[in-house]
C-alpha cells in the first residue's frame, strides 16, 4: 500500500518504508527528528512547476499532468519506490499544508497507475532492460 502523510505527523509501524518526496527540507524539522528511509528529492516537482502551481487547487489537474510528465523522465527513482512498495507499505512524506493538493498525492497516483499497467513508461522501460 502506498500511503501519504505530512512530515509533521507522528510515524507509526504501519508506515512501512518512509520517503520524503519534497525538494526542500521541511521547515522547523531537524533531520534527527524525522524517521526516514530516504529523501528522494529528485522525485519532487521542478522548482518551475512548484512555483507555477503555488498550491492553487484550480491548477491541480494541469499540475498533475505536468508533474507526471516530469516523473516519466525519472524512472530509476520511480522504480525504487515501486520496488519498496512490492515489499510492503510505503509512506510518501510531504510538508505542504494542503493535504489534498500536493506533490505526494500526485506521485502516489502516478505510482498507482504504474503498478496497474496504465502507465506504460515504467513497464516498457523495465521490459527493455530485460530484453537486452
Quote the pTM value.
Answer: 0.86
Cα 131 from Cα 111, distance rounded (Å): 23
**Confidence check: pLDDT of 128 > 80:** no
| pLDDT score recorded for residue 117 | 76
**Confidence check: pLDDT of 88 > 80:** yes
Domain that holds residue 44: 2-131
Percent of the chain residues past pLDDT 90, beyond the cut: 84
**Confidence check: pLDDT of 121 > 50:** no
Cα 50 from Cα 48, distance rounded (Å): 6
User: Residue 91: in which H helix or E strand, if any?
Assistant: strand 90-94
Number of folded domains that form the chain: 1
Give tens-digit pLDDT for 21-66: 999 999 999 999 999 999 999 999 999 999 999 989 999 999 999 9
Residue 124 confidence class, pLDDT cut points 50, 70, 90: very low
Q: DSSP E strands: which ranges in the chain?
A: 2-6, 17-20, 38-39, 90-94
**Confidence check: pLDDT of 125 > 50:** no
Amino acid at each position: 500500500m502506498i500511503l501519504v502523510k505530512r512530515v509533521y505527523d507522528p510515524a507509526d509501524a504501519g508506515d512501512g518504508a518512509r520517503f520524503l518526496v519534497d525538494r526542500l527540507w521541511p521547515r522547523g524539522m531537524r533531520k534527527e527528528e524525522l524517521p526516514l528511509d530516504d529523501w528522494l528529492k529528485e522525485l519532487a516537482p521542478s522548482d518551475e512547476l512548484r512555483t507555477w502551481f503555488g498550491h492553487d487547487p484550480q491548477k491541480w489537474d494541469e499540475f498533475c499532468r505536468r508533474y507526471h510528465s516530469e516523473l516519466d523522465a525519472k524512472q530509476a527513482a520511480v522504480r525504487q519506490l515501486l520496488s519498496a512498495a512490492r515489499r510492503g507499505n510505503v509512506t510518501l512524506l510531504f510538508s505542504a499544508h494542503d493535504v489534498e493538493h500536493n506533490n505526494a498525492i500526485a506521485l502516489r497516483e502516478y505510482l498507482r497507475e504504474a503498478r496497474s499497467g496504465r502507465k506504460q513508461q515504467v513497464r516498457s522501460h523495465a521490459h527493455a532492460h530485460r530484453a537486452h
